[in-house]
Amino acid sequence: MAEERGAFIAAGQRAAMALTTQIVKAAYEEAMREHGLLPFTVALISGCAERKLAALDEVPDGPPASSGVRAPLG
Rounded Cα distance between 49 and 51, Å, is 5
Q: What angle separates helix 39-57 from helix 2-34, to the nearest 10 degrees?
A: 160
Residue 16 has pLDDT above 80, yes or no: yes
The model's pTM: 0.62
Checking if the pLDDT of 39 tops 70, the result is yes
Higher pLDDT, 4 or 26: 26
> Comparing 17 with 57, which gets the higher pLDDT?
17
